[in-house]
């Protein structure tokens, strides 16, 4: 590991012998900052940087006939051991315990968190599902990315969920375009998904029954009521409280069970103003027509 630019360019740094950190390759870092320099100028001094917290996790298709059963969904949720995923693939990163990250101004732990890992409880929910469905076993398919890290995550999730007696998880590895196509078309049962920018607009678009980015078929009257309130009320406190309640309710029975938060970055020059961010199924976008330059 070495410094690739600046006053100490070329200086070698001692790297930890374990996997507590994962340094980005030299060429990747050089490429990233060459792109930034070509667009923003040689000096990055004075730039404003915004961290956009979101996450990656296991998505469930609420329109799928099997996954419409709340006991089956809860069995899956309580069989996920996110600490095992993080320790194996992303060592040192914090685990996700709710839809919103701890730093979100809208997070309200009293409103709801993710169901905790409890394999015994998961088995009870699954047995209740089997009894109601008149079945002795069930098979679900997990569509996942083929990249090494995400494929490893899928295999870990498969092993965790397969610990539920009577449940079999089949893996369906596909390339990114195919996964995104299936996601947006709703042609999946379980899928590796991501949540981008879980702020006000992102929450409404993704989790409201009529949301423009609601590709998981999620529908919850309590969530809709609070999200509608965020659009109708002009009281900032009322709006913030409504977002907190909605996010907590979603966390109790999420369409996307995050196991890891992540933080992409937005870089802008100090004289750039008015950038408005939006989300869609495959990433974060910017309304450039709202931007303007100052002195």
Q: What is the mean pLDDT of each run of 10 residues along the chain (295 residues)?
A: 67 60 54 62 59 66 96 98 92 89 89 97 98 98 91 95 98 90 92 68 86 90 96 93 95 91 60 60 52 71
Give the predicted TM-score (pTM) of the model.
0.72
- Residues 6 or more apart in contact with residue 1 via CB below 8 angstroms: 12, 13, 14, 15, 23
| Cα 77 from Cα 190, distance rounded (Å) | 12
Q: Closest by alpha carbon to 92, among 16, 198, 193, 196?
A: 16
User: What's the CATH code of the domain at 64?
Assistant: 3.10.105.10
- Residue appearing with tokens 């042609």: 187
* Count: domains in the chain: 1
Confidence (pLDDT) at 7: 67
How far separated are the first and last CA of the chain, in Å rounded? 39
Residue 270 lies in a domain: no
Confidence (pLDDT) at 12: 74
Q: What is the span of the domain harbouring residue 243?
A: 54-262
Confidence (pLDDT) at 280: 42
Residue 11 lies in a domain: no
Confidence (pLDDT) at 39: 62
Residue 48 lies in a domain: no
- Residue appearing with tokens 């397969």: 162
Residue 258 lies in a domain: yes
């Amino acid at each position: 590991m070495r410094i690739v630019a600046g006053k100490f360019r070329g200086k070698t740094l001692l790297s930890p012998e374990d996997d507590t950190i994962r340094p980005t390759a030299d060429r990747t870092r050089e490429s990233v900052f060459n792109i930034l320099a070509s667009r923003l100028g040689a000096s990055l001094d004075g730039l404003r940087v915004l961290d956009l917290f979101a996450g990656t996790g296991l998505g469930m298709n609420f329109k799928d006939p099997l996954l419409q059963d709340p006991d089956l969904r809860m069995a899956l949720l309580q069989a996920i051991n996110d600490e095992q995923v993080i320790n194996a693939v992303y060592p040192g990163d914090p685990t996700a315990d709710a839809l919103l990250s701890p730093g979100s101004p809208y997070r309200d732990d009293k409103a709801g968190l993710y169901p905790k890992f409890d394999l015994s409880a998961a088995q009870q929910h699954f047995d209740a599902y089997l009894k109601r469905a008149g079945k002795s076993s069930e098979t679900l398919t997990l569509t996942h990315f083929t990249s090494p890290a995400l494929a490893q995550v899928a295999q870990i999730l498969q092993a965790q969920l397969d610990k539920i007696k009577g449940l079999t998880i089949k893996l369906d590895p596909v390339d990114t375009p195919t996964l995104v196509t299936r996601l947006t078309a709703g042609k999946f049962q379980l899928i590796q998904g991501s949540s981008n920018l879980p702020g006000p607009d992102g929450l409404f678009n993704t989790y409201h029954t009529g949301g423009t980015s609601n590709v998981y078929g999620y529908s919850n009257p309590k969530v809709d009521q609070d999200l509608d309130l965020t659009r109708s009320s002009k009281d900032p406190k009322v709006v913030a409280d409504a977002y907190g309640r909605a996010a907590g309710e979603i966390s109790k029975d999420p369409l996307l069970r995050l196991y890891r938060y992540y933080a992409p970055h937005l870089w802008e020059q100090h004289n750039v103003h008015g950038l408005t961010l939006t989300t869609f199924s495959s990433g974060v976008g910017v309304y450039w027509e709202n931007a303007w330059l100052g002195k």
